[in-house]
A and B are shown apart, each in its own frame.
Chain A
Amino acid sequence: MATAESYVLAIGTKKGLWLATSPDRKDWSLSGPHFLMSEVPSIGIDTRDGRTRILVGVRSEHWGPTVFHSDDLGETWNEPERGAIRFPEGTDAALERVWQIHPDAESRPGVVWAGCEPISVWKSTDGGEHFELNRGLWDHPHRGEWGAGYGGAAAHSIVLDRTGEKVHVAMSTGGVYRSLDGGSSWEPRNKGISAYFMPDPNPEFGQCVHKIAADAAVDGRLYAQNHHGVYRSDDDAESWESIAEGLPADFGFVMLTHPRRAGTAWVIPLKADGERIPPEGKLAVHRTDDAGASWKRLDDGLPASDFNSVLRDAACVDAEEPAGVYFGTRGGSVYASADEGEHFAEVASHLPDVLCVRAAAVSPAFASAGPAAAVSV
């Protein structure tokens, strides 16, 4: 049952942002591009406080990275004059790319987190207009040993608990780090996650964890899609166990969890390392409803053959019932399911490489918002 009259699906690509709207999560109207020729690797849709704010991390090859926000569904975009995310003096660092924009819980309105390249975590208390660098992670003694994945060295997953005190971050490469004091101090938590590509395949840190997500209903339960390996933790990342059995491949970038139901998660397996394509060129989403004990292949509505990969943030769920599942490929196709992945329909095709998608129900007032004029940086 839908809880609002309109839905928005924001699609960040290598060459701009597109927005799709729908009255029913089945028929979608596409508008864009916004920020043409700039990549949009991160999107946050913040529906707290009775408004819909779309935050986007935008990066121009020429003019660098920045964060824009829109409170009118993309009709106008704003950025703080001096930049929402700006490394402070003394760090001798410059922002390369915003990989993650994550509005905090309903109970903490105005709080928005960001994960960035170089590896860093940031927190805003004004709805994403200004962020402050998390010094605990920035000054961590492990920093010099963290590495870069193919896409860069970044903190790409930020998972918060109900209290706001327990925070899990995942970075490529470095692995999972946990804070129990709201982000003041951090410890690696990777026991059981393989780093087969290192001389010691079971290091304390250094894993190439691609994405982590929290179970919506079981405290302390997390899921991880690793660079080879799919894992679950039932003890706040103290230890991880494999849940890859039953999947056609244990590589991939995506890890999604249900907004409310315990034990439900989605992955999109890829064959690796040599090929980086859906196994046998057959694109499919896999869902578990029993915390990884078994997996169900979901490919209804997906093409019979597709050789494109799906990147870590190019997939999302919405908060509706049943949950919507969305993802986009590096071939520029975007698919949506209004029934938790049982059936997919193509929302867009032939876009540039899809880097990020986010979806949310929006208030009816936004339903009439028209497509925006092109905005550049």
Chain B
Amino acid sequence: MVLPSVLQPLAGGQSLLTAPADGAATVERVLDLVTGDYPALGRRLRDETGAIRRYVNIYVNGNEIRRLQGLATEVSPGQEVLIIQSVAGG
């Protein structure tokens, strides 16, 4: 999972987090695995109900998962999951 620079301090300075995979996994499962050791990072991405925060965008294979199956979107072994925040505001 590729993190934007602003979140990297919450992952020990890492820009890339990996999760072991025996096969395809859902985005939800990947998030659980990679944020397990970094709960503060996990809270930045999802709220207590498990929902992805409104201005957090997660891409799998170049597609934003809200346009796929959301957290149930499958990630294949070796595939990158990109975390990108929305750019908006004033």
**Which A residues are within 8 Å of any B CB, using their own CB?**
60-64, 66, 79, 81-83, 86-87, 92-95, 376-377
Pairs A–B under 8 Å by Cβ, sample size 6 = A62-B56, A63-B45, A83-B39, A83-B43, A87-B48, A94-B47
Chain B interface bracket (under 10, 10 to 19, 20 to 34, 35 or more)? 10 to 19
Using A62-B56, A62-B85 as known contacts, say yes or no to A93 and B48 having CB atoms under 8 A apart: yes
| In the complex, residue of chain B having the shortest beta-carbon distance to the beta carbon of A61 | B55
- Chain A residue contacts of B53, Cβ below 8 A: 62-64
Complexed CA–CA distance, A376 and B7 (Å): 10
| In the complex, residue of chain B having the shortest beta-carbon distance to the beta carbon of A86 | B48
In the complex the two chains form, is A82's CB within 8 Å of B49's CB? no
Complexed CA–CA distance, A6 and B56 (Å): 42
In the assembled complex, B12 has its CB within 8 A of some CB on chain A: no
| In the complex, residue of chain A having the shortest beta-carbon distance to the beta carbon of B9 | A376
| In the complex, residue of chain B having the shortest beta-carbon distance to the beta carbon of A87 | B48
In the assembled complex, B16 has its CB within 8 A of some CB on chain A: no
In the complex the two chains form, is A377's CB within 8 Å of B44's CB? yes
Interface string of B46-70 (1 = CB under 8 A from A): 0111010101100000000000000
CB distance from A57 to the nearest CB of B (A): 14
Using A62-B53, A62-B56, A376-B6 as known contacts, say yes or no to A82 and B44 having CB atoms under 8 A apart: no
Q: Name A79's contact: one of B40, B51, B56 (CB within 8 Å).
A: B40
- Chain B residue contacts of A81, Cβ below 8 A: 39-40
In the assembled complex, B89 has its CB within 8 A of some CB on chain A: yes
In the complex the two chains form, is B49's CB within 8 Å of A64's CB? no
In the complex the two chains form, is A94's CB within 8 Å of B40's CB? no
- Chain A residue contacts of B44, Cβ below 8 A: 60, 62-64, 377
- Chain A residue contacts of B56, Cβ below 8 A: 62-63
Complexed CA–CA distance, A63 and B41 (Å): 9
Complexed CA–CA distance, A87 and B63 (Å): 31
Complexed CA–CA distance, A376 and B4 (Å): 13
- Chain A residue contacts of B43, Cβ below 8 A: 63-64, 66, 82-83
In the complex the two chains form, is B89's CB within 8 Å of A61's CB? yes
Complexed CA–CA distance, A270 and B52 (Å): 39
- Chain B residue contacts of A62, Cβ below 8 A: 44, 53, 55-56, 85-86
- Chain A residue contacts of B7, Cβ below 8 A: 63
Complexed CA–CA distance, A229 and B45 (Å): 42
- Chain A residue contacts of B6, Cβ below 8 A: 376
CB distance from A80 to the nearest CB of B (A): 8
CB distance from B38 to the nearest CB of A (A): 8
Complexed CA–CA distance, A229 and B51 (Å): 40
Complexed CA–CA distance, A66 and B40 (Å): 10
| In the complex, residue of chain A having the shortest beta-carbon distance to the beta carbon of B88 | A61
| In the complex, residue of chain A having the shortest beta-carbon distance to the beta carbon of B4 | A62
Complexed CA–CA distance, A81 and B10 (Å): 10
Residue among B44, B48, B56, B86 with most chain A CB within 10 A = B48
